[in-house]
Amino acid sequence: MACNVLIFSAYVVVMSFFLCSVHAKVNMNASFHLTSGDDSLRGRSLESKKVVFDVRKHGAYGDGQHDDTKALAKAWAAACSSSQPSIVLIPKGKRYLTKHITLSGPCKSSITFMIEGTLVAPPKRSDWSKETIRHWIMFNGVSGLTVAGGGTVDENGKIWWQNSCKTNAKLPCTEAPTALTFYSCSNLKVENLKLLNSQQIHMSVEDCTDVRISSLTITAPGTSPNTDGIHITRSKNVQVTGCIIKTGDDCMSIEDGTENLHVKNMVCGPGHGISIGSLGDHNSEAHVNNVTVDTVRLYGTTNGARIKTWQGGWGYAKNIVFQNMIMENVWNPIIIDQNYCDSATPCKEQTSAVQVSNVVFKNIRGTSASKEAIKLDCSRNVPCQGITLKDVKLTIKGGGSDAKSTCGNAKWKKSGIALCFQLSSRGGGGSAARRGAEGRDERGPDEAEHAELGKNASGGDGPETAGEGIYRAPAAGAAAASGHLNIQWLEMMDYRIK
């Protein structure tokens, strides 16, 4: 009798486990089910549902000729008012002509803006008014937004480039649209998209928090003016990973109000590199804090890692790290410019400046297209503080020449293989005299052979004598003293950039 009870109990336990397992599997599968707000793909979910709002069901043609702006607006309005998580679907295989549009929140639930096809901007400048010229597609005040789908955003920028004063100095300087603008959004994801030929900036993130950007391919000709890839301003807690950017301006521009930004695994070029700034223009206040740029490959860019601030501004750019970077034929591999002046004539020297401090350039190697591989042009009145160069190995493109570096009004330290040891005592209005810098050498005895200092190096703490530093490249195959570089990822991405 006891045995029979035990056997029956075991049977109950096994059957209960089996039924629970089946129930769990049903729930797991059901959580991926989509329903349609347009009376198609009907279904039920035991855990969650996403309602699909297909722009075609709201009147979109998808032929690239008819204006589909109203259809997109209707689909967005329906999704935004849904109490269930929703998808606005831009179906694949079609081109949807869209004029200026603002897609606003707050919405009742999370929305996925699924671009599987192509959104295309109007081909004529006359399709834009003075009120709409600054933005093409804007997402305003949306929380829990995901923009994805593997499709294309074609910004039709050629006509704008041809009429830019930067292309033709005889033309007046006018505004042009930013392709995608995210304003005052939170919990934002933008991933797996192709952005092409922006009229001006490809994507701008403004006044946003908790942002994840990944797997974007952004492309425009190297001669296209002002076509920044990703622009970040007044935003906090932003991650940018796995992006390929080829444009006519900054691959990334990082401006006032940016805090807690992490950029990783990026390929950049052509373009103007990765820039913090410009900051403090028109005597304004600017703040940038806690920025890390990690594992980046740059090809033929104007700049590599750059910080630029205007004279006369105030505030700070601090706690910044550029590390694990490969640069190929980059004109200004490492540059800090506190005397930035976008003028044909020298700017008047002013007494205030944005404070640049606690900046690290670490584990950077490659080739410089110019003889001046590192340039620290800091303010005479507000010098750069706490600049660190560690394991930097840059040679002249083609070899056979010495790479020069200039450092002025900067307090710095270096270790491992590093270039920037000397000062260039050039004075002048728009470019403050580079003198009065302090530095110290933290290399060990075994590292000294990797760099020969010019005769004016101090070799210890305290001010250095004015002069121009010359870096003599290490012999081929010389290894960096320390540091780690994710070469495998960069080489994997290599074929995609060419």
Positions annotated as catalytic residues are: 272
Nearest to 357, CA basis, from 386, 397, 337, 324: 386
For residues 47 and 427, give the distance between their C-alpha atoms in angstroms, rounded to a whole number: 69
250 contact partners, CB below 8 Å, separation of at least 6: 228, 229, 231, 271, 272, 273, 274, 275
Tell me how many degrees the CA angle 87-93-99 measures, rounded to the nearest 5: 65
Q: Which residues pair with 25 in a beta bridge?
A: none
Please calculate the CA angle 18-20-24 and round it to the nearest 5 degrees: 115
Look at residue 213 and give its three-state secondary structure. strand
- Strands of 200-302, DSSP E: 203-206, 209-219, 230-233, 236-246, 252-254, 259-268, 274-279, 285-299
Amino acid making up residue 450: H
Q: Is 6 helix (H, G, I), strand (E, B) or coil?
A: helix
CA 163 vs CA 160, 250, 260, 444: distances in Å: 5, 20, 37, 56
CA 408 to chain centre: 28
The total number of residues shown for the chain amounts to 498
DSSP-derived secondary structure letter, 429: S
Strand partners, 372: 404
Of the candidates 353, 282, 365, 368, the one whose C-alpha atom is nearest the C-alpha of residue 322 is 365
Residue 278, SS3?
strand
**Cross-strand partners of 102:** 138
Q: Is the dihedral of CA 451, 456, 459, 462 positive or negative?
A: negative
Instruction: Write the DSSP string, 330-396.
Output: ESEEEEEEEEE--SSSPPPP-S-B-EEEEEEEEEEEEEESSSEEEEEE--SSS-EEEEEEEEEEEEE
C-alpha pair distances (Å), 342 with each of 224, 257, 278, 415: 18, 22, 10, 34
